[in-house]
Amino acid sequence: MKRSFFEMAQPASVAVAFGAVLAAQTALAATPAQEHIKHVIIIMQENRSFDHYFGTYPGADGLPQSGGRFTVCVPDPQTATCAFPYHDTSPKNGGGPHQHVDALADIDGGKMDGFIANVETYFPGRCGDHAIAGCGIDVMGYHDNREIPNYWTYAQQFVLQDHMFEPVAAYSATSHLYLVSEWAAKCATHNVAQSCTNFIDAYPFKNNQPINVPFAWTDLTYLLHRYGVSWGYYVVDGTEPDCLNPKTLSCVANAKGAATWTFWNVLPGFDTVKADGQLSNIQSVANFYAAAQAGTLPSVSWVVPSGPVSEHPSYDIRDGQAYVTSLINAVMSGPEWSSSAIFVSWDDWSGFYDHVVPPAVDANGYGIRVPGLVISPYAKKNFIDHQVLSFDAYAKFIENLFLGGHRLDPNKDGRWDPRPSVRETLVPSETLANDFDFTQTPRAPVMLPVYP
């Protein structure tokens, strides 16, 4: 049997002891979550803030209002006015620049008033990132159940998280790295995690393609492999629209397939995935649909889109909603709905307005708020989770469910890297278990039309 990277790097007695700890933990009484949830599915979409999608959702911490009028506005330096939120009926949006410097500009020291000025700085023609024909600045626009009815229905029927923050104040690549590893770094040497240093923003490119730099730090699949927990990372073949230069109005889309690391498909770049012989776990989304229908889903699934179904500006949000609905329908109509927990979120804010100041948790963030949905037979109904969350909560839930509570902790996971914090422990009260009621009668599927 092929030995893992951990086993090759440690004495045999350490690896045996590591396995013995797992055996002892699994002998303990299972928690309600462990009894009922056997499949965790994380669907990650692109580039929407919470206020942009759910700012007027009843009961949520949405756009502040009084007497039916919005009480927040954002200065527009070009017109010397203060722009209020407005209902945007267009399914195609421009948004704004959304790298680390843009997050800082939008947040503006906690005033949350830099959104329009930042777009005007980068796009003096008054069009946002990936401009669409005839566009103006639309970062103050919001959608509701008229444009995204399925998302609002999922919130009404299941759980809406209204304090889910991007794990770092940056763009898609960094956010996706945090999704699977809770860190983003720049490493000097393959397979040497100690060679990595903190790195918030962009990654090197050549001819508009990302260079295969070492991702030598530890990701969650390393622990999943150590514990024998099955996982799949499902990719929609196609292109990604993120640009290397944030000042560019448009760019050549990056080709994306399961074997190529890109902004949204980051796992192929990790040394741990290669060393553990698990590159084949990164596969086409067609395999997700097939596994959902056949009842062969792995314990942990991540699902990432291609551009046309991503909701990334300037793609049509109706196509993204249809794609996400099709994924959820596949699980709901399959034999493993009864033991599944589906989490849906969006990887960054894309310049769209949000009024909540992100918490300071460590040297890197959080970033601006994004929507979060929880869909499961055991999810509470029409419940709004107000607790502070980030994508770290997904890792924590997976670790508690399948790994006996072991964390991506460089001092304990057997593979040291110099990450600035153990992300899952920064907000001790953070737990996705609050979104479930394991005493309730399991919820029936809520099958929705992909194009309502």
Beta strands in 105-243 (DSSP E): 141-142, 159-165, 185-187, 196-198, 205-206, 209-210, 231-235, 238-240
Residue 16 burial class via C-beta count within 10 angstroms: exposed 0-12, middle 13-18, buried 19 and up: exposed
What is the CB neighbour count within 10 angstroms for residue 347?
30
- The ranges assigned to domains in the chain are 5-51+145-435, 72-142
Collapsing DSSP to helix, strand or coil, 354 comes out as coil
pLDDT tens-digit map of 250-274: 333 444 556 677 778 899 999 999 9
What is the 8-class DSSP label of residue 442?
P
Whether 132 has a pLDDT exceeding 70, the answer reads: no
What is the CB neighbour count within 10 angstroms for residue 209?
13
Name 186's bridge partners.
197
What is the CB neighbour count within 10 angstroms for residue 119?
28
With contact defined as beta carbons under 8 Å apart, do 128 and 119 qualify?
A: yes
Give dist(CA 168, CA 192) in Å, integer.
24
The closest alpha carbon to 154, from 379, 419, 398, belongs to 379
Average per-residue pLDDT in the chain?
Answer: 87
Looking at residue 255, what is its pLDDT? 47
Q: For residue 272, give Cα distances in angstroms to 5, 163, 267, 268, 370.
A: 7, 32, 9, 9, 29
Looking at residue 179, what is its pLDDT? 97
Q: For residue 77, give Cα distances in angstroms to 81, 121, 445.
A: 7, 10, 49
List the structure tokens of 113. Answer: 């008033």
With contact defined as beta carbons under 8 Å apart, do 49 and 102 qualify?
A: no
The topology (CATH level 3) of 5-51+145-435 is Alkaline Phosphatase, subunit A (3.40.720)
Whether 11 has a pLDDT exceeding 70, the answer reads: no
Share of the chain above pLDDT 90, in %: 73
pLDDT tens-digit map of 339-393: 999 999 999 999 999 999 999 999 898 999 999 999 999 999 999 999 999 999 9
Peptide bond into 314 cis (omega under 30): yes
Q: Which pLDDT band holds residue 243 (cuts at 50, 70, 90)?
A: very low
List the structure tokens of 231. Answer: 């996982």
* pTM of structure: 0.90
Looking at residue 238, what is its pLDDT? 61
Whether 247 has a pLDDT exceeding 50, the answer reads: no
Looking at residue 206, what is its pLDDT? 58
Looking at residue 10, what is its pLDDT? 37
Collapsing DSSP to helix, strand or coil, 392 comes out as helix
Give dist(CA 166, CA 320) in Å, integer.
19
pLDDT tens-digit map of 203-230: 665 555 556 678 999 999 999 999 999 9
Higher pLDDT, 309 or 247: 309
Give dist(CA 4, CA 23) in Å, integer.
18
Q: Residue 375: what are its φ and ψ, rounded to 5°?
A: -130, 120
Name 255's bridge partners.
239
With contact defined as beta carbons under 8 Å apart, do 270 and 215 qualify?
A: yes
Q: C-alpha angle 165/166/167, rounded to 5°?
A: 105
Q: Residue 32: what are its φ and ψ, rounded to 5°?
A: -55, -40
Beta strands in 51-181 (DSSP E): 65-66, 69-70, 74-76, 81-83, 86-87, 141-142, 159-165
Complete DSSP assignment for 112-128: ---HHHHHHHH-TTS--
Looking at residue 213, what is its pLDDT? 74
Looking at residue 429, what is its pLDDT? 87
List the structure tokens of 59. Answer: 């009961």
